[in-house]
A and B are shown apart, each in its own frame.
Chain A
Amino acid sequence: MTSRPHERRRWLGLAGTGCLLLLAGCKSDSLPSARVLPDTPGGTPPIHIAGCENTVIDPGRVTLHRLNRAEYDATVRDLLGDTTHPARAFPADDHGYGFDNNADVLSLSPLLMEKYASAAEALVESAWTRGTLRTCELDPANPEPCARDILSRFARRAWRRPVTAEEVQRLLRPIALAKQHGDPPEAGVKLALRSVLVSPHFLFRVEMDPEPTSAAPHKVNAFELASRLSYFLWSSMPDEALLQAAEQDKLRTPEELEAQVRRMLADPKAQALVSNFAGQWLFTRALDSAEPDPTLYGAFNDTLRRAMRQETELVFQEFLTGDHKLKDLLDAPFTYVNDALAAHYGLPLPGSTSHQRVDLSAHPERRGIFGHGSLLTVTSNPDRTSPVQRGVWVLEQLLCSAPPPPPPNVEGLPPAVNPNMTMKERMAMHRALPQCQGCHRMMDPLGLALENYDPIGRWRMKEVSGAPVDATGDLPDGNVLNGGADMRRFVKEDPKLPDCMTEHLLTYALGRGMSNVDSCAVRFIAATAEARGGRLSDYILAIIFSDHFTSRRGDTEAQSP
């Protein structure tokens, strides 16, 4: 991402904190001017972002966002108390920019609409049977007052905003229809409840622009902000406390916003960030489909698969609420293992089939995510390690500097790979080819430094061929990474790391991909988060206070015919 300084110069409102970006009336060749950030609740010093002084921050816009499967399931859980995960029967969501909550690729096919319609019927039937929705008794002679109560309460929560009198009136219509067909009023109420769940107001997260064709940024309204918060942190609808805060217009103050965020992060529903954000950012979801070669890596089984996944989830969970710097994910001195996983890693057994927190001061090789079997497995081929995949993972997921793809038809180039070569020799072949070496000189050393971990994450001193592992990687600048510890340090010190972690988190928070125009905002958020202490919660708060999160603009694109 490169910054694109804007020609216009003006004062800009920056985050919900009321901080301001000071833009001097200078030419591009003059000295950078300062960005002045007044104290936030966390007491942040001023943030200066070189190269962004003259940039007008454009919060962008998020396309009408269909609930994805995880969001649908969590929403009906919180709305109806339904824990049957109806969305498991829906077609898979596609993902874009690494996340399956990307609004632009979340399309709505006829197949999905069919699923919504039948899920709504089943959900309403079962909730009605449980009595969840019946706040009053429907009087067959005069059902309207009670129906109105049931439907307006339900629609307010399902649509995550106040409903208008006109909308409620419309929802009452099926009662008359039911009567025509000789059915009791509850049949009509159930029809209305079903239509609430198939309405675009439920299936989409609707955000309105006062002027849909204007590029001028505006704050999203309190209810839209409440939904942004709850779908970011919980993958679910706002709860009553958040909805009421929106109704009382309390989410405007940074104190209230921060209090809500901290309350939400402490709620078990924040587990959604672990499974939906971390599961995709750290690739733990790919464990489901990992198939290590059973003849070579028969030690891998479903018990281990689950244990590895849980390890990474528990570590991330601790980062969510604990007092660790986010960067420490790379070399955290603790992890969570059960006996099976500890044995697999060669760690002392904690004496439990459930995961226990263990200290790694005596086992530096297991520190941080590069010691996790989950990541090491999903970045391997079924039959061997892949320093390239591991290197690309680091570059893409941690440094946001993915190399360009191989040039066209490079795969067909001779010479063929000799399977008896050591990994180091194989990788050297990449770098021998002039058209390949540019990128492989970046990727390979990062992956080679992890060669002591086999394709299922076990520590090893020898390759499958019997040759001793050579875990040194030569960086393009001539420095040598000798093993995992060097590599962790190298990545952790890379100044691109905070920006990149922000980019992934912001992509997920907004449900849209980042582009060049977002570059300054990303850097500003990262710097703010680091200045606040660099914890995951600091990153989350810096995002939530940002204009990108609290604002949007209209769509300047011409109306299609």
Chain B
Amino acid sequence: MMVRRKIHRSLISLLVLTLILAACGSESTATTTSNTGSTNPAEVKGEITVWAWNVAAKSLEATVPSFNQKYPNIKVTVQDIGRTDVYDKLTSGLQAGGAGLPDVVAIESDRMDVYTSTFPDGLADLTSRASKYEKDFDPSKWAQSKISDKIRSIPWDSGPTGLWYRVDIFEQAGVDPKSIETWADLIAAGEKILAATDGKTKLLPVDIVADDAGFRMMTSQLGVCCYFNSDGKINLTNDKSVQALTLLKEINDKGLVANINGWDGTVAATKNGDVATVPFGVWYSGTIIDQAPDLSGKWDVMLLPAFEKGGNRAANLGGSTLAIPAATKNLDAAWLFVEHALATSEGQNIMMEKFGIWPSYQPAYSADLYSQPVAFFNNQPIWKLFADEIKNIPAATYTKDYAKGQAVLASAQAKVLSQGMDPKQALQEAAAELANQTGREVAQ
């Protein structure tokens, strides 16, 4: 059996390698120079490739110059190959025993289980190198990187959420952002904005067909994120999940949703004023700055509105880790890169300052930038808002079936928003479907 598996592996590796090389026409993905045992940073040599997407890739790229000051002989290539492509290629590469994979790869924290459960040894065991940093990291994030007592990735960023909003459009419609405390307030504001802009500017973007980000933020806020409860049962038919989906339906029924296509659709709507607000994680700040530089001063942020007056306004969306595929031939160089980017204030704060990637590495918070006003965002000290929010975020449960949950929920969302199905019924059907796909029980 084992022998057959090995032959399997190597042949599939060959296949996948060929496919990947043909697909992206990439240069050397696996160049290597051995470097074990060296203590002098300048002597560590090698060439490593990093996979990430969008702003995550750009921010990692931004740490390379400072990394190369310490380790001049490690050449780092960051490839932005798109979020879903990273996952699809990672899956096939791990299945092929590591063929064609990069030396470092970004994985969203809530997806870690998907990979570590299917490929228990596919990602390098970083325990011996990383355990000394445990005390420095946000404990909830560290827990997501630690699987069966082994550290398989290093927490990168957290995703406290906010409601990004257009100051100028709010003013034009006569809406005072300070008056918005609940989702009902926000809906009323959305109606005013829609009227004031002759229907051009909707309240917020939703990728109705493919992404349930709004639902995840709202359930996180309500403490029932995401899809499963702490016993691993499917947790979708509870009142709070129904409340979240009902709210989305209400916003949509009032004509306040801009139905967008994927990530690019959100970015486009953000740029050209199709939406007055974007509820998203702190990391969206980097995208706004990067993609809409001419809107400097016109964006600001507040916490998500509460479901009822005085209710919780803190939630989490996203947040990632960096992992090293076990098949890397440059483990030392890859580790040094990850260590510099994530386990030093220098690395983390480069990404924070330029792209709003919120460090999970807590010593980084002592830097000045966390209390300073940000010119781009209406000259407000927006980072302080997130720093204060973080401790109020309710805990969440992710499992290896998280990705399936996302797909099923997007499907339920489409049934509700575009076909008018009752939210409760849609969630019951979604729970049944998820049970069918995962063999998990549905929580009562």
- A, B from the same assembly: no
